[in-house]
Structure 1
Amino acid sequence: MSEQSKEKQPTFEEKLADLETIVNQLEQGDVPLESALDQFQKGVNLSKDLQKTLENADQTLAKLMSDDGKEVAFEKPAGDESHD
């Protein structure tokens, strides 16, 4: 394992707080363009990570909530046309 993978990964809540901070900074509009672009890119990456975490949680819940103990097929919500 690399040194980075041994480091504690941020929790879902920490990532969400980081994303909220970025959004607030960008909404204020007083961030230099280069910094705003960097922050925007970081925000997009955080958003993708958070979405993936939520999808995994949904899949886990669907499996746990199956009446007969078998895995249940997970379907994305209607209108979700995102491509990873």
Structure 2
Amino acid sequence: MNKKNELSFEESLKELENIVDQLESGDIDLEKSVKLYEKGMLLKKNCEDKLKNVEMQIKKIKLENNKIKKEDFTV
């Protein structure tokens, strides 16, 4: 999965959409369908991991921003 981890969120999502289109077409054999499904699940996990990472970054930024606002600057 090293290559998949190197893909950006957008690249992973685009590839995942392509896989869904192929699977929905019904024009591929069962063996290839299973391989595409497996690849799709790895891409899905990659997207979820990247989203979780961004969510944590946003929470950290918000937390830091709240600390700045709550600081007392009275002399």
Alignment TM class, shorter chain as reference: 0.7 to 0.9
Structure with higher RCO (Cα < 8 A, 6+ apart): 2
TM-score under structure 2 length normalisation: 0.77
Correspondences of 1:69-84 after superposition (within 5 Å)? none
The gaps in structure 1 that reach 5 residues or longer are: 70-84
Cα shift at 1:12: 1.1
CA distance in 1, matches of 2:59, 2:50: 14
Highest CA radius of gyration, 1 or 2?
Answer: 2
Aligned residue pairs, count: 63
- Specify which structure has the higher proportion of helix: 2
TM-score normalised by length of structure 1 = 0.69
Runs of 4+ in 1 over 3 A off after TM superposition: none
Matched, 1:34 2:31: yes
Partners of 2:24 and 2:51 lie apart in 1 by 25
> 3-state DSSP class of the match of 2:67?
coil
Listed as ranges, the gaps of 5+ residues in structure 2 are 69-75
